[in-house]
Amino acid sequence: MPQKPNPAPAPPRSNLLIRAATASDLDLIRALLEGEGLPTSDLEAVRPGFLLACAGTRIAGAGALERYGEAALLRSLVVAAAWRGRGLGHRLVKSLERQARAAGVRTLVLLTQTAQEFFARLDYGVIAREQAPAAVRSSSEFRSLCPASAVCMAKSLR
Ligand SMILES: CC(C)(COP(=O)(O)OP(=O)(O)OC[C@H]1O[C@@H](n2cnc3c(N)ncnc32)[C@H](O)[C@@H]1OP(=O)(O)O)[C@@H](O)C(=O)NCCC(=O)NCCS
C-alpha cells in the first residue's frame, strides 16, 4: 500500500505574519473555508475584511469582520489543521477585536456550530439570535447560510 506523505511540519509561530487580505488571497481563503465546511457563497458579494496569518506564501489561518455600523459579525475563522492548538485561533480573534475596536465597533456577534467553547474562553457569551443587532441579523450568514442550530454569541468591546 502506498505511503501517504507526511504533512510538512508547521514552522515556528514567530514566523507568522498577521496582515490584511487582498483580492488575490481570495481563492486560498475560499479553499481553506470550504475544507472546513464554512460558508463562502457570499464572499464576493459581501466582501468581509479578512485578516490572514501567513507563513511565507502559505496561509495558516484567517478570520473576518463584516461591519454593520457599531456592530460587526466575526466570521470565517479558520486555522489550517497543521497549525491548530498553538494559539493562532486566539491570536486571530484578538487581532480582529483590536481592528474592530479601532474602527469604532462596540459589539461583535458570531454564529458557530463547532466552536462555542473556544469563543466562550475569549469572553463571548451566548445570546438568542433575536438579541443580535437588527443590521447583523440582515446578513446572509444569519438569513440563510448558518443553520438555525448554530449558536449565536456576542461580546461587548467597550
Ligand atoms: C476553532 C479554531 C479556529 C481554533 O484554532 P486554534 O488555532 O486551534 O485555536 P488556539 O490554538 O488558539 O486555541 C486552542 C484551544 O482552543 C480549544 N479549541 C480549539 N478548537 C475548538 C473547538 N472547535 N471547540 C472548542 N474548543 C476548541 C483547544 O482545545 C485548545 O484548548 P487548550 O488551550 O485548553 O488546549 C480551529 O480549530 C478551526 O479552524 N476549526 C475549524 C473551523 C471552525 O470551526 N471555525 C469556527 C467557525 S465559527
pLDDT, one tens digit per residue, over 13-27 is 668 999 999 999 999
Given a contact cutoff of 8 angstroms between Cβ atoms, the answer to whether 16 and 52 are in contact is no
pLDDT at 146 over 90: no
Residue 150 dihedral angles phi and psi, to the nearest 5°: -65, 140
Reported as a single tens digit per residue, the pLDDT across 95-121 is 999 999 999 999 999 999 889 999 999
pLDDT for the residue numbered 103: 96
Average pLDDT over the chain reads 90
Residue nearest to atom 19 of ligand 1 (CA): 118
pLDDT for the residue numbered 10: 61
Residue 8 is placed in which grid cell? Answer: 510538512
Kindly give the distance from the C-alpha atom of residue 92 to the centroid of ligand 1, in angstroms, as a whole number. Answer: 11
* CATH dotted code for 13-156: 3.40.630.30
Say which residue the cell 511540519 belongs to: 9
| Alpha carbon 133 to chain centroid, angstroms | 19
Ligand 1: residue of 84, 92, 108 to mutate (most ligand atoms within 8 A of CB) is 84
- Give the list of residues 6+ apart from residue 95 with CB closer than 8 angstroms, or none: 18, 51, 63
Whether 77 is in the pocket of ligand 1, judged by its Cβ within 6 Å, is yes
Helix, strand, or coil (residue 33): helix
Whether 88 is in the pocket of ligand 1, judged by its Cβ within 6 Å, is yes
Residue nearest to atom 35 of ligand 1 (CA): 85
What is the pTM for the complete model shown?
0.91
Whether 79 is in the pocket of ligand 1, judged by its Cβ within 6 Å, is yes
